[in-house]
Structure 1
Amino acid sequence: MKVILLEDVKSLGKKGQLVDVSDGYARNFILAKKLGLEATSKNMNDLKLQKAHEDKLAAERLAEAKAFAEDLKKVEVTLSIKTGEGGKLFGSISSKEIAQAAKEQLNLDIDKKKLVLPNPIKAVGTTLVPIKLHPQVTGELKVVVREA
C-alpha cells in the first residue's frame, strides 16, 4: 500500500514523502497513529498543493532576508565604552549589547543568537559583524566602537 507520511517516521521516511509499506503496517501503525494518509488521487493532489504553498513561502522568506541584508549595509550602530591607555577597552562588547544598541538606535529587532561574533569586540574602531538572516543569506552590520 502506498502511504503519504504526515510526520517523520524513523527508518521509513520524512514528512511529505510517498512510501510503499505492507497493508497491515499501514492499517495498524501508520494510519492508526495518524502518521500518514493513504495515497489516493485526492491526497496526492493535496500534497502537491501543500508543497507548492511551502515552496512559495520559503521563496518569500528568502526574498525578505535578502532585502533586509541590503538594508543592513546602509546602517551602522555606534557604541561608546570606557577605554584605558592605548585604546584598550575596559571589558568588551558582546552580541547582546550590539542587539540592544540596534534596537535602541535603529529600531531593528535582531536576535543576539543570529549575530555571528566569534569573539567579543575588544578594540576601538569599526567592525563588520555578520548576521545569519536565513540559511542562505548572511548580512553584515557595521558596528562603530568609540571611547566614552
Structure 2
Amino acid sequence: MKVILRERVETLGRRGEIVEVADGYARNYLIPYHIAVKASRENIRKIEEERKEYLAREAKRIEDAQEIASVIAKLQLTVTMNAHEDGTLYGSVSERTIVDALKEERVTITAQMVRMKQPIREVGRYMVPLHLHPEVDGEVSVWVVAEEAPKHAEPTGE
C-alpha cells in the first residue's frame, strides 16, 4: 500500500514522502497512529498544503535560531563559583548553570540545547557548544572565576 508520511520515520523516510509499505503495517500502525495517510489525490493535496505551512514555520524557527546564535556569539558569560586555591571548583558548571547565565542576559534556551561533553570543574575560559536547531549550532564564551573569599575582620586587640 502506498502511504504519505505525516512525520519522519527512521526506517521509511521523511515527512511528506510517498512510500510503499505492507498493507498490515499501514492499517495496523501507521494510519491509526496518524503517522501516515493513504496516498490518494485528495490526501496528496492536503499533505502538500500542510508541507508548505510546515516549511514556512520551519524557516521562521531557523531564522529565530540564527538570530539567537548571533546574539550568543557576542556574549561573554561570567560564572562565579567557590573554588580551591588550585582552581578546582567545589561544585561544577553544568548545562543548567549556562542556561541560567544566559537567562540573565535575556537569552532563553533549554538545557537540552547546551552540548557540554562534561561539566566544567576548573576556573578558566571555555567555549560551550550549543545546538539551537537541527540546522543551527553556536558557541558561547564562558569565564568561570573563583569567588572571592570574604575577608574576616581582624581583631583590634583592645
TM-score norm. by structure 2 comes to 0.70
Size of the alignment, in residue pairs? 143
> In the alignment, what sits opposite 1:87?
87
3-state secondary structure, aligned to 1:85: coil
Please tell me whether the aligned partners of residues 6 and 37 of structure 1 are also in contact (alpha carbons under 8 angstroms): no
Structure-to-structure mapping, 1:49-88, within 5 angstroms: 49-88=49-88
Q: Which consecutive unaligned segments of at least 5 residues does structure 1 have?
A: none
C-alpha RMSD of matched pairs (Å): 3.3
Higher helix share: 1
Report the identity percentage. Answer: 31
> Contact 2:18–2:39 (CA<8 Å) still a contact in 1?
no
Provide the residue aligned with 2:110 in structure 1. Answer: 111
Deviation string for 1:91-129 (max 9, x for gaps)? 2211112212222x2122221121111111122121111
Q: Which consecutive unaligned segments of at least 5 residues does structure 2 have?
A: 148-158
> Once the two structures are superposed, what CA deviation does each residue of 1:65-105 show, in whole Å capped at 9, x if it has no partner?
111111101112211112222222222211112212222x2
CA distance in structure 1 between the partners assigned to 2:13 and 2:125 by the alignment: 48
Match of residue 99 from structure 2: 99
> Is the 1:128–1:143 contact (alpha carbons within 8 Å) kept by the matching residues of 2?
yes
Indicate how the Cα distance of structure 1 residues 115 and 37 shifts in structure 2: closer, same or farther if over 3 A, else same.
Answer: same
Change (3 A) 1:109 1:6: closer
Structure 1 residues 15, 138: closer, same or farther in 2, change over 3 A? closer
CA contact (8 A) 2:68 2:107 kept: no
**1:131 Cα offset (Å):** 0.8
Counterpart in the other structure of 1:39:
40
Runs (4+) off by over 6 Å: 11-14
Aligned to 2:151: none
Map of 1:137 onto structure 2? 136
Change beyond 3 A, Cα 1:52–1:126: same
Structure 1 CA distance for aligned equivalents of residues 12 and 118 of structure 2 = 42
The one-letter code matched in structure 1 to 2:102 is: A
TM-score (norm 1): 0.74
Structure-2 separation of matches of 1:39 and 1:122: 58
